[in-house]
Amino acid sequence: MKILIVGSGGREHAIAWKLNQSSRNPELFAAPGNVGMMEIATCINITVDDIDGLLSFAKAQSIDLTVVGPEVPLVLGIVDRFEAEGLKIIGPNQFAAQFEGSKDFTKAFLTKHGIPTAAYGTYDSHEEAIEALDQFGFPVVIKADGLAAGKGVIIANDMVEARAAIDDMMQDLVFGEAGARVVIEEFLVGVEASILCFCDGLTLLPMQAAQDYKKAMDGDLGPNTGGMGTYSPSRVIDAVRMDTINKTILQPFIDGIHKDGIEFKGILFVGIMIDGDDIRVLEYNVRFGDPETEVTLPRLKNDLIDIFDAIVSQRLDEVELDWHDQSAVCVIMASGGYPENYEKSKIIKGFENVNDATVFHCGTKMLDGEIVTNGGRVLGVTSLGDDLETARACAYEAVRKISFEQAYYRNDIGK
Ligand SMILES: Nc1ncnc2c1ncn2[C@@H]1O[C@H](COP(=O)(O)OP(=O)(O)O)[C@@H](O)[C@H]1O
Ligand SMILES: [Mg+2]
């Protein structure tokens, strides 16, 4: 069985690592893949937005199943193109990918189906958006409607900041067309969490929750990042909350897509804000989270190919997820300066000294026979342990054995 993984980050490395453990011994390909994936997959130099290139490769190689890591190819319609050629692929079609590709699409869906979320308005003109600010208090949340690589959300503390955000998005188009339309939202307080689910269009199967750390510095200080670490299972989502989430968020999603005739197959990532008993949806993503995947898949006992097969054939109701009791912690090693400016091409040393941890590559490359840094987030170091504290100690022990110039990581992941 030949499987193609589309993407090149820690998330895709974790997917490949998990698929590599399947009893079906799949032959793995990754486009474009990364240095870490090279050990288990054939990496081919096709970028994730080159849908024609990916399609010709999959046809030429008779790929049996394609798994899409990032959102961009999904929003570009890779699934529709592959399915039109009779190829099996894991991910939502272009229409359903709007759950990530358009904040307005999601807010309209949530509102229509009575799924709790922040009050909002959507605006296509700069003038309307500025006028609407009077209806909201401060802080207020201003969001570019389209994809903005995780940078399109501004929390404005006063009128000056709010106007500046709207000017940037709608007049100066700092996020391109993605910001030509904006969503303005009521600011919610609480603790954020995310629920990853497998979905075959009929059944939504939640995975055990992972907790991520978005801020750059210890104690949740500093700027937002793509994620500096994760742990699983989450302490924030207990059985009572999970019950509420099932009833008020997950079941209404399935009911809603049925009513609206939306076909959703793949991974649904539900970002939520928890304030006591009040749990509301912040956003949907239509793919695995990074670095949530790096702690979720190592705890999953099921063969991932069985789950993907069940998604393709819409038999997910027959699947029961089985989890290791152990906790997992993933610490992201980043380049000093991230998420602002940082240097690349620093030689990474010490991989061979690591035991009791899996090192997922996020941003690395080969240079003159050495593995060097090639991104803001460089490595995701994951350890399992009988409890969170053991997993945490183990992950940090591994992190300390790996070194590169200006390496940076948070010290409080899982604390
Ligand atoms: N209504 C809201 N109230 C408070 N914080 C919010 C709200 N919406 C978004 N945020 C914050 O902004 C972050 C990014 O927003 P999100 O909707 O997840 O967009 P994206 O991940 O596409 O950038 C969230 O993780 C959360 O911290
Ligand atoms: Mg988000």
Query: Would you say 99 and 92 are in contact if contact means Cβ atoms under 8 Å apart?
Result: yes
334: Cβ contacts below 8 Å, ≥ 6 apart: 225, 228, 342, 376, 377, 378, 407, 408, 409
Q: Tell me, what's the pLDDT at 319?
A: 98
pLDDT tens digits, one per residue of 333-343: 999 999 999 99
| Residue 67 pLDDT class (50, 70, 90 cuts) | very high
Average pLDDT in the chain: 97
Q: Which ligand 1 atom is at minimum distance from the Cα of 189?
A: 4
11: Cβ contacts below 8 Å, ≥ 6 apart: 69, 70, 287, 288, 289, 290, 291, 293, 294
Query: Would you say 187 and 141 are in contact if contact means Cβ atoms under 8 Å apart?
Result: yes
Which of 106, 280, 282, 286 gets mutated to test ligand 1 (max ligand atoms within 8 A of its CB)?
282
The CA distance from 375 to 15, in Å, is 20
Phi-psi region of 281 (alpha: psi -120 to 50; beta: other; left: phi over 0): beta
Q: Tell me, what's the pLDDT at 321?
A: 98
Which of 153, 213, 228, 292 gets mutated to test ligand 1 (max ligand atoms within 8 A of its CB)?
153
Q: Which ligand 1 atom is at minimum distance from the Cα of 283?
A: 17
Q: Which ligand 1 atom is at minimum distance from the Cα of 271?
A: 18
Residue of minimum CA distance from atom 27 in ligand 1: 192
Nearest ligand to the CA of 152 is 1
The CA distance from 104 to 143, in Å, is 9
Instruction: Over range 152-169, report the average pLDDT.
Output: 96
Q: Tell me, what's the pLDDT at 154?
A: 94
pLDDT tens digits, one per residue of 112-157: 999 999 999 999 999 999 999 999 999 999 999 999 988 899 999 9
Residue of minimum CA distance from atom 17 in ligand 1: 283
Whole-number Å distance, alpha carbon 366 to ligand 1 midpoint, is 35
Whole-number Å distance, alpha carbon 150 to ligand 2 midpoint, is 7
Q: Which ligand 1 atom is at minimum distance from the Cα of 185?
A: 1
The CA distance from 294 to 212, in Å, is 11
pLDDT tens digits, one per residue of 355-393: 999 999 999 999 999 999 999 999 999 999 999 999 999
Measured in whole angstroms, the distance separating CA 280 from the mean position of its chain's CA atoms is 18
pLDDT tens digits, one per residue of 53-65: 999 999 999 999 9
Q: Tell me, what's the pLDDT at 150?
A: 83
184: Cβ contacts below 8 Å, ≥ 6 apart: 120, 121, 122, 123, 129, 132, 133, 136, 140, 141, 142, 143
Pocket of ligand 1 (CB under 6 A): 118, 141, 150, 152-153, 185-188, 192, 271, 282-283
Whole-number Å distance, alpha carbon 393 to ligand 1 midpoint, is 30
The CA distance from 360 to 390, in Å, is 19
Whole-number Å distance, alpha carbon 282 to ligand 1 midpoint, is 6
Residue 93 φ/ψ, nearest 5 degrees: -70, 175
User: What domains, with CATH codes, occur in the chain?
Assistant: 2-93 (3.40.50.20), 125-180 (3.30.1490.20), 191-318 (3.30.470.20), 327-408 (3.90.600.10)
Task: State the maximum Cα–Cα separation within the chain, in Å, rounded to a whole number.
Answer: 59
Helix axes 10-19, 304-312, angle to 10 degrees: 100
Which of 191, 283, 290, 292 gets mutated to test ligand 1 (max ligand atoms within 8 A of its CB)?
283
Residue of minimum CA distance from atom 12 in ligand 1: 153
- Kindly give the residue spans of alpha helices, DSSP state H, lying in 133-223: 159-166
Share of the chain above pLDDT 90, in %: 99
Tokens 């700027």, residue? 223
Whole-number Å distance, alpha carbon 71 to ligand 2 midpoint, is 12
Q: Which ligand 1 atom is at minimum distance from the Cα of 100?
A: 22
- The type of residue at 41 is A
The pair of structure tokens assigned to 353 is 């000294």
